[in-house]
Amino acid sequence: MGQYSEEARSRTHKNLVYKHMRVLEEVAEQVMIGTRRSAVVCGPTGIGKNYVFEAAFRRHGLRWNPERPMSEVALIEAIEERSGKEDINVFDESDHMLRHLRMLNVLKIATDSKASEVILSYRVRNPKLRIDPFPVKSGFIFLMNTNLHDRNLLEDKRLDEHIKAFNSRCSPFVMTFSHNDIYEYTAYLVASERMLMKDGFSRDVTEQALAYFAETMHRVRDVSPRRIRNIATEIRRSPESWRDYLEPTLEKPWCDPPNWVPRLEPPGKSKRVNRQGPLPVVLL
């Protein structure tokens, strides 16, 4: 049980989600120190995009407070509040902005790194709603689930040129993974990084959550870290009846079941992960 199989080491070391999250940590740090002005990150829900950037904010002593403006004027107002050189605008769940032409035009202007000076304003007849021109020197982080390289999005005649222009300004970091990639990564976080135990879940709850997560991975579309946290929460909340709450969320099997099941490292056997080397995940 305490031994790490070569298969486990190789599998996790090559895992695409793990590799992309390490790159994302670099991107977050670059935004924090100003060597990268804009970061547009596209990836599956629950995979940990927010976690990476929130951790970077904490390291630099900044408050994590993402915005979700739903209109052009709300977007411009949010940028105006944080438009200084030391500011960083964070927009979470910003997928809707891609399908709102006026908001998309604001994004194109705000993230234009080639412009000598970026100026935004909101000009309307009503002076109470008007926003006078102001310079934008801040950084930007956009987090979304939409794949900005998706063919259907790029072939939308109403949006295609605008999306392409936005892509050319900010070089989006697009993460797409297989179901098994995400399953393996989540298993690694729980089994080797002790993600759930660090969040206050007991070892017993963690082991039950990990076993159920593996048992049902072929009957759900979501195998993200967020899902296994939700499983653990239900087990802790309803120790006798948690399965009754979770079973209705399962689908008919739609992919192959896993051919391996992760198991927690035994107490006292946890190893620090060398970011440059193979990663231990204990498998049955």
Ordered by start, the domain boundaries in the chain are 6-13+179-283, 37-174
Closest CA to 230 of 265, 254, 196: 196
- Is residue 98's pLDDT more than 60? yes
What average pLDDT does this structure show over 210-217? Answer: 95
Answer yes or no: is pLDDT of 99 > 50: yes
pLDDT at residue number 153: 77
Taking residues 211-229, report their average pLDDT. Answer: 95
Confidence of residue 269 (pLDDT cuts 50, 70, 90): low
Rounded-to-integer distance, Cα 94 and Cα 87, Å: 19
Among residues 197, 282, 198, the alpha carbon closest in space to that of 12 is found at 282
Q: What is the CATH number of domain 37-174?
A: 3.40.50
- E strands within the chain? 38-42, 88-91, 119-122, 131-135, 139-144, 173-174, 262-263, 282-283
Residue with the larger pLDDT of the pair 273 and 205: 205
pLDDT surpasses 60 at 280? no
Q: Supply the pLDDT for residue 283.
A: 37
With vertex at residue 144, the alpha carbon angle to CA 167 and CA 201, rounded to the nearest 5 degrees, is 145
Question: What pLDDT, on a 0 to 100 scale, did the predictor assign at position 192?
Answer: 82
Mean pLDDT of 92-102: 92
Instruction: Determine contact, residues 89/78, Cβ cutoff 8 Å.
Output: yes
Mean pLDDT of 158-178: 88
pLDDT over 80 at 267, yes or no: no
Whether the pLDDT of residue 90 is over 70: the answer is yes
Pick from 143, 148, 140: nearest CA to 174: 148
